[in-house]
A and B are shown apart, each in its own frame.
Chain A
Amino acid sequence: MTSPQLAVSQISKSFAERKVLDKISFELEAGQRVSIQGPSGTGKTTLLRIIAGLDLPDSGKVVLNGQDATVDCKSLLQPWQRNVQLVFQDLGLWPTRTVLQNVTDARKAAGLPNVQQVAVETLTALGLQNLIKRKPAKLSGGEARRLAFARALALEPKLLLLDEPFASLDPQARHSGFDLLEQVLERSSAAVLLVTHDPEEAARLNGTQMNLSDGVLQCQ
């Protein structure tokens, strides 16, 4: 029997007096898609950051592909050792690098082969082939979002975490965003965990839907 790609068990986290995550547990199989929906400020981003190893929980455990990654407030696997990619709400593009360099730098640093070829292929697949020499500040909102997805995809993660990827877009841009997400998911075999406050966005992922409210996770 193979272990799940991600197993989160009994994760709790408080900020000051406020408990944002209260003994959260769930599992994600390889290639599975899960969306977690909940209003703003309910700890969705915190949950993703704990899974990525960027934050530590107060208690609980994160297991990635059978290997303990975080146990209580101890990180056993560093963020770069988890083979997890997070598409941040504000994208986290590297402003001093061009579109192409944002992807090649990442792939090179991760020690993956065929840096240039895969970068160009991924950027082409997401329609950015004509913008490869631009800096992120010169991209439109939609183009920047494509680049963030391209960079994450080029790293061939086993687990892709998406933090409200279309939160700040107008309805039309959101629609093309959904199409983009479909495109991205077609190209990747990664398990996907998406958090959002928008029910439509959660539904478009075509996966298991869960609800996070008052620190408690429930299946819909």
Chain B
Amino acid sequence: MSLVLGARSARPWWSLAIVVTFVAAWIPLLPLLEPLIRFDRLSTMLDARTSGLLWRSTWISTLSALLAIAIGWPYAMLCTRWRFPGAGLFRLLMPLPLLMPPLMVAQAWFGLTGMTGISATIFTFGVCYAPLPALLVARSLGKQSAASFESAMLISPRFAILSMLRISLLPALIGGGFAFLFAAGDFAVPDYFATVGDLFHVYAAEIFGHSRNADFTAGATASLPLVLIGLLVLLGNARLLKSQLGYESGLGRHACPTNAKGAAQAILPLLLLALLAVLLIAPIAQIFFETGKQGPLSERTWSDVSRAAFQQGITDGRSSLVRTMQFAGLAGALCLLLAPLWAHLILHCRNRWRSLLVILLCLPLLVPSVALGFGSILMFNQPWLDQFYSSLFLPALLIAGRFLPIAVFILLDIMSRVPDAQEETAELAGCSYLQRLFRYRLGGHTSALWLAAGLVIAFGARELDFAILLPAANSSAAVRYYNALHFARDNFVAAYGIILVALLFLPVMFHAWWQSIRFKD
């Protein structure tokens, strides 16, 4: 054991990462390839109805991505590049809407406005995924060279703002690309709005429909067109990212936030508050209100009903919450090891290999989650894998595989900023690979590692689509929420949603709190 841990070569560890990822992320995708060898499957995919659904999913996702950009881009710009009272809090809250289950956001906006149909779907996706462009824009603006910004400042303030817009355009588009991917693969939100309002279908719902007659192979193969569209978006994103990296300044001073003066001190927080109200405050407030909502003839007070709903949420839903945290936590722990290994491997690869590895790593994220569920059933539901199939290790492995790219990209960003010389000196001194990786590459950035694992846990805990299909994940909190919503247990649903959201927010808020303490030190 000590021989393995003390190995100086990176190769055994990289091989281990690839093998685990193969099992966790790539094996469930193998059934998707069937249409490439069975043309009868391919022809059903190309009929008019299916193409129509695919087209509808594409434009719904495109409009959702554009809305996410329209909300996320200004939000990130205002709170990262201007200094005013509360800017830090707005920055802190920026990623949280991404952690809210989209189905809950849909429920909240339906309750608030009564909106249904395609426009409500687009709005919900736009709101849920606005943090994706926002986070990338904030990152790029934080890396703008101070000299570049100040050169523009010497010419005109409008030009300085233009320089910010230009440096953050590609990250906004990249974030929009990811928003597109998430929106295209989600079936639960369109399904919800179609249930409460006029009926409409999207492609992901068509894929999910195959579960009703247990035709898992058809379900898995039907997702291939969405995967191909996702792949195109990913390739586009990779191209944009390459250009963007050329624009960012790794060394030297980075541009600082500008002090807001005069009326701007009041206008900027108000603008951000309005955006935050749409992203976070209104949906949470509405759901919270629904915990105590009751019929006109009821004699109980709102607080009595709400308290009872929360109690029920905790007693009835505790086992699901514990189960969810178990497999999501296990997935996060797995990513604590896998993500640094992958990030390091990608960092050390030459250009073409690097692109190939990134695409392979991202594949599970491109696949609609439902299809991942179908693939897992087909590949792992074998008599000799019975124990594994019904254990929480399977959902943990799938969550780790699906959300590993997010963790890897966070660490890759951090690790690429550490000078190679630090690690190479340790290599020359004879340090083991793990020491080099964790002590000298990641040593000063352990909080990024915790953030990466925390996000995997949060995304895993809110995962609904494949959890519905997979018996081992059937008793998760997200599935319980989905079932309760469909059986119209309104107070319980709302209270359970709030409990779930609080649990999802915890890792990210804890990370932000920890960072602020470290920053003060």
Task: Say yes or no: A95-B148 contact (C-beta < 8 A), given A79-B154, A80-B153.
Answer: yes
Q: Which residues of B contact A92 (CB under 8 A)?
A: 145-151
- Mask: chain B, 152-171; 1 = CB below 8 Å from A; 0 = not: 11111111001100110100
Cα distance, A91 to B249, chains bound together (Å): 11
Q: Which residues of B contact A82 (CB under 8 A)?
A: 154
Closest Cβ of chain A: how far from B167's Cβ, in Å? Answer: 6
Q: Which residues of B contact A135 (CB under 8 A)?
A: 246
Task: Say yes or no: A86-B151 contact (C-beta < 8 A), given A78-B157, A110-B156.
Answer: yes
Q: Is A96's CB under 8 angstroms from B150's CB?
A: no
Q: Which residues of B contact A97 (CB under 8 A)?
A: 166
Q: Which residue of A lies closest to B144 (CB)?
A: A95
Answer yes or no: A52 CB below 8 A from chain B CBs. yes
- Residues of A53-86 at the interface with B, using a CB-CB cut-off of 8 Å, are 54, 78-80, 82, 84-86
Q: Which residue of A lies closest to B167 (CB)?
A: A96
Q: Which residue of A lies closest to B245 (CB)?
A: A137
Answer yes or no: A155 CB below 8 A from chain B CBs. yes
Q: Which residues of B contact A93 (CB under 8 A)?
A: 148, 151
Answer yes or no: A90 CB below 8 A from chain B CBs. yes
Q: Is B151's CB under 8 angstroms from A88's CB?
A: yes
Q: Is B150's CB under 8 angstroms from A88's CB?
A: yes
Cα distance, A170 to B457, chains bound together (Å): 50
Cα distance, A91 to B148, chains bound together (Å): 7
Answer yes or no: B438 CB below 8 A from chain A CBs. no
Q: Which residue of B lies closest to A163 (CB)?
A: B147
Q: Is A94's CB under 8 angstroms from B152's CB?
A: yes
Dominant SS among interface residues on chain B: helix
Task: Say yes or no: A90-B155 contact (C-beta < 8 A), given A95-B246, A135-B246.
Answer: no
Answer yes or no: B14 CB below 8 A from chain A CBs. no
Cα distance, A84 to B155, chains bound together (Å): 9
Q: How many residues of B are counted as interface, with CB atoms below 8 angstroms from the partner's CB atoms?
A: 27
Cα distance, A85 to B153, chains bound together (Å): 10
Q: Which residues of A contact B158 (CB under 8 A)?
A: 109
Q: Which residues of B contact A54 (CB under 8 A)?
A: 150, 153-154
Cα distance, A77 to B442, chains bound together (Å): 45
Q: Which residues of A contact B167 (CB under 8 A)?
A: 95-96
Cα distance, A65 to B147, chains bound together (Å): 25
Q: Which residue of B lies closest to A82 (CB)?
A: B154
Q: Which residues of B contact A151 (CB under 8 A)?
A: 151
Answer yes or no: B419 CB below 8 A from chain A CBs. no
Q: Which residues of A contact B163 (CB under 8 A)?
A: 94
Answer yes or no: A205 CB below 8 A from chain B CBs. no
Answer yes or no: A106 CB below 8 A from chain B CBs. yes
Q: Which residues of B contact A29 (CB under 8 A)?
A: none
- Residues of A166-183 at the interface with B, using a CB-CB cut-off of 8 Å, are none
Answer yes or no: B247 CB below 8 A from chain A CBs. yes
Cα distance, A97 to B247, chains bound together (Å): 9
- Mask: chain A, 134-175; 1 = CB below 8 Å from B; 0 = not: 010100000000000001000100000000000000000000
Q: Which residues of A contact B152 (CB under 8 A)?
A: 94, 109
Which of B150, B155, B163, B252 counts the most A-chain CB atoms under 10 A from its CB?
B155
Q: Which residue of B lies closest to A89 (CB)?
A: B147
Which of A52, A94, A155 counts the most B-chain CB atoms under 10 A from its CB?
A94
Q: Which residue of B lies closest to A138 (CB)?
A: B246
Q: Is B166's CB under 8 angstroms from A109's CB?
A: no
Q: Is B247's CB under 8 angstroms from A137's CB?
A: yes
- Residues of B207-249 at the interface with A, using a CB-CB cut-off of 8 Å, are 246-249
Task: Say yes or no: A109-B246 contact (C-beta < 8 A), given A88-B150, A94-B163.
Answer: no
Task: Say yes or no: A91-B247 contact (C-beta < 8 A), given A78-B157, A80-B156.
Answer: no
Q: Which residues of A contact B155 (CB under 8 A)?
A: 80, 106, 109-110, 155
Q: Is A105's CB under 8 angstroms from B151's CB?
A: no
Q: Is A94's CB under 8 angstroms from B166's CB?
A: yes
Closest Cβ of chain B: how far from A107's Cβ, in Å? Answer: 9
Q: Is B148's CB under 8 angstroms from A94's CB?
A: yes
Closest Cβ of chain A: how far from B43's Cβ, in Å? Answer: 45
Q: Which residues of B contact A80 (CB under 8 A)?
A: 153-157, 159
- Residues of A39-57 at the interface with B, using a CB-CB cut-off of 8 Å, are 52, 54
Cα distance, A167 to B39, chains bound together (Å): 65
Task: Say yes or no: A90-B150 contact (C-beta < 8 A), given A80-B156, A109-B155.
Answer: no
Q: Which residue of B lies closest to A78 (CB)?
A: B157
Q: Which residues of B contact A137 (CB under 8 A)?
A: 246-247
Cα distance, A135 to B151, chains bound together (Å): 17
Which of A54, A95, A105, A137 counts the most B-chain CB atoms under 10 A from its CB?
A95
Task: Say yes or no: A88-B147 contact (C-beta < 8 A), given A96-B166, A137-B246.
Answer: yes
Cα distance, A139 to B156, chains bound together (Å): 26
Q: Which residues of B contact A85 (CB under 8 A)?
A: 154
Q: Which residues of B contact A96 (CB under 8 A)?
A: 166-167, 169, 247
Closest Cβ of chain A: how far from B86's Cβ, in Å? Answer: 24
Cα distance, A197 to B435, chains bound together (Å): 40
Cα distance, A11 to B149, chains bound together (Å): 25
Q: Which residues of A contact B146 (CB under 8 A)?
A: 92
Q: Which residues of A contact B249 (CB under 8 A)?
A: 90, 95
Task: Say yes or no: A90-B154 contact (C-beta < 8 A), given A105-B159, A135-B246.
Answer: no
Q: Which residue of A lies closest to B246 (CB)?
A: A137
Q: Which residues of A contact B252 (CB under 8 A)?
A: 90
Closest Cβ of chain A: how far from B246's Cβ, in Å? Answer: 4
Q: Which residues of A contact B253 (CB under 8 A)?
A: 90
Task: Say yes or no: A84-B247 contact (C-beta < 8 A), given A90-B147, A95-B167, A96-B169.
Answer: no
- Residues of B120-157 at the interface with A, using a CB-CB cut-off of 8 Å, are 145-157
Cα distance, A80 to B160, chains bound together (Å): 10
Closest Cβ of chain A: how far from B128's Cβ, in Å? Answer: 29
Cα distance, A109 to B154, chains bound together (Å): 10
Cα distance, A109 to B253, chains bound together (Å): 24
- Residues of B68-96 at the interface with A, using a CB-CB cut-off of 8 Å, are none
Closest Cβ of chain A: how far from B146's Cβ, in Å? Answer: 8
Cα distance, A78 to B153, chains bound together (Å): 9
* Partner among A78, A89, A94 whose Cβ is within 8 Å of the Cβ of B151: A94
Identify 5 new A-B residue pairs, CB closer than 8 A, beyond the known A54-B154, A80-B155, A109-B156.
A79-B154, A84-B154, A88-B147, A95-B247, A137-B246
| Residues on B facing A (Cβ under 8 Å) | 145-159, 162-163, 166-167, 169, 246-249, 251-253
Give 5 pairs: A residue, B residue, CB < 8 Å, sorted on A.
A90-B252, A90-B253, A95-B248, A151-B151, A155-B155
Ordered nearest first, which 9 A-B pairs have the shortest CB separation? A92-B147, A88-B147, A95-B247, A92-B151, A109-B159, A137-B246, A96-B166, A90-B252, A92-B148
| Residues on A facing B (Cβ under 8 Å) | 52, 54, 78-80, 82, 84-86, 88-97, 105-106, 109-110, 135, 137, 151, 155
